[in-house]
Amino acid sequence: MYSKIWLSKPHFETDDLDYFKTTMESNWISTVGPNIASFERSIEDVFNKNLKAVALNSGTSAIHLALKMLHIGAGDEVICQTFTFCATVNPILYCGATPIFIESEQETWNMCPVFLEEAIKDRLKINKKPKAIIVVDSYGMPAKWDELLEISNRYEIPIIEDSAEAFGSEYKGRLCGSFGNYSILSFNGNKIITTSSGGALLCKDEQDKERAIYLSTQAKTTSSLYGEVGFNYRMSNVLASLGIEQLKVLNKRIEQRRDNHTKYHSLVSDLKGVKLQQENSSDFYSNFWLNCIITNNPKISKSALIDEFTKHHIEVRPLWFPLHLQDYLKGSLYYGDNFSETLFEKGLCLPSSSNLTNEEFNRIGDVFNSFKK
């Protein structure tokens, strides 16, 4: 029997683990210890020290903390991309705020600037100014940042950049994670680098960083006093040790995932009606965290592909089901043209791990080839 090919699996090499072992031996295994600040400095180095990083226990808590940093609370409205993972929107609900969903544009599958502005204008008409905008760099593909930032600046509404999937991706030579007033990264097991679970909040200055650390450590002021409602969101010293090692191979992981993309390009190029998601121009540089295809060929339908891949123990996944259509979010305001419904109907994510082997690629190729007959 074949072993299963996963969509995106963790990638450690055994020499990554020496540091982890030393950390365990030191017994500094809680949310205090030298690795945390060291991991943060290494993240800041990736961004040429233009940003401050706060290491946290997940990407989801990083988004929640970003909303807290912007003082989002009950009754506020927050604009959110609809074509994304539920973790992008749920923290809005944790705050008691209300999400307003924006459709994606066709070139990057991320927030459409036209629908964004339509929504803002519409809410301003009734004096309800949205408090923040959460934009995603979905599957590693950077959003249309020039247009989105222009709108954010003009209407003076801050952006939270969810670049959980886009560490290492670039738009016009600038790294994803540097576009939002606050940005977040995820180091969950399925992301491009991982600390098993984990995340980071990226902010602009030291003052912000200090406040975020304070909020993420129960808002503790002295040994027995607490300043406000805080959170237990700090990354542990053990996981930070994994992060330090993983950061060293980030560039290698990006190369490997981009290499997967090149291979998929040749695998699907002669499949009629099947298109691989690509960078729309040289402005976009994706880490290709996941490779995605859209099929317009009824003989190679999404469900036929899922059936066939599943039969061969290969994990594939539909593209995001639009959030505004999820049962628990139904009735939310939505601005768009239903493009994400088409993406869900016709799209599929393909195995894209950085440790995908040639043999595994051949198995994936065999499934595609069976549709050519």
Ligand X SMILES: *Cc1c(COP(=O)(O)O)cnc(C)c1O
Binding site for ligand X (CB under 6 A): 58-60, 84-85, 87-88, 136, 162, 164-165, 186, 188, 199
| Distance from chain centroid for Cα 265 | 23
Full strand arrangement of the beta sheet holding 199-203: 52-56, 199-203, 182-186, 159-162, 132-136, 77-81, 98-102, 333-335
Q: Which residue number, 167 or 284, has a Cβ lying nearer to ligand X?
A: 167
The residues near 15 (Cβ < 8 Å, ≥ 6 apart) are: none
Taking the C-alpha atoms of residue 254 and residue 83, their distance in angstroms, rounded to an integer, is 23
Shortest Å, Cβ 227 to ligand X: 25
State whether residue 182 is helix, strand or coil. Answer: strand
Shortest Å, Cβ 57 to ligand X: 8
Q: Which residue number, 85 or 371, has a Cβ lying nearer to ligand X?
A: 85
Shortest Å, Cβ 136 to ligand X: 5
Pairing outcome for strands 284-285 and 170-171:
antiparallel
Cβ count near 275 (within 10 Å) = 16
Q: Which residue number, 40 or 271, has a Cβ lying nearer to ligand X?
A: 40
Q: Which residue is nearest to ligand X (CB)?
A: 59
Left, alpha or beta for 198 (phi > 0: left; psi -120 to 50: alpha)? left
Q: Which residue number, 88 or 108, has a Cβ lying nearer to ligand X?
A: 88
Shortest Å, Cβ 248 to ligand X: 20
Q: Which residue number, 115 or 289, has a Cβ lying nearer to ligand X?
A: 289
Shortest Å, Cβ 372 to ligand X: 32
CA angle 35, 36, 42 (to 5 degrees): 85
Q: Which residue number, 35 or 58, has a Cβ lying nearer to ligand X?
A: 58
| Distance from chain centroid for Cα 89 | 12
Shortest Å, Cβ 271 to ligand X: 27
Taking the C-alpha atoms of residue 36 and residue 94, their distance in angstroms, rounded to an integer, is 26
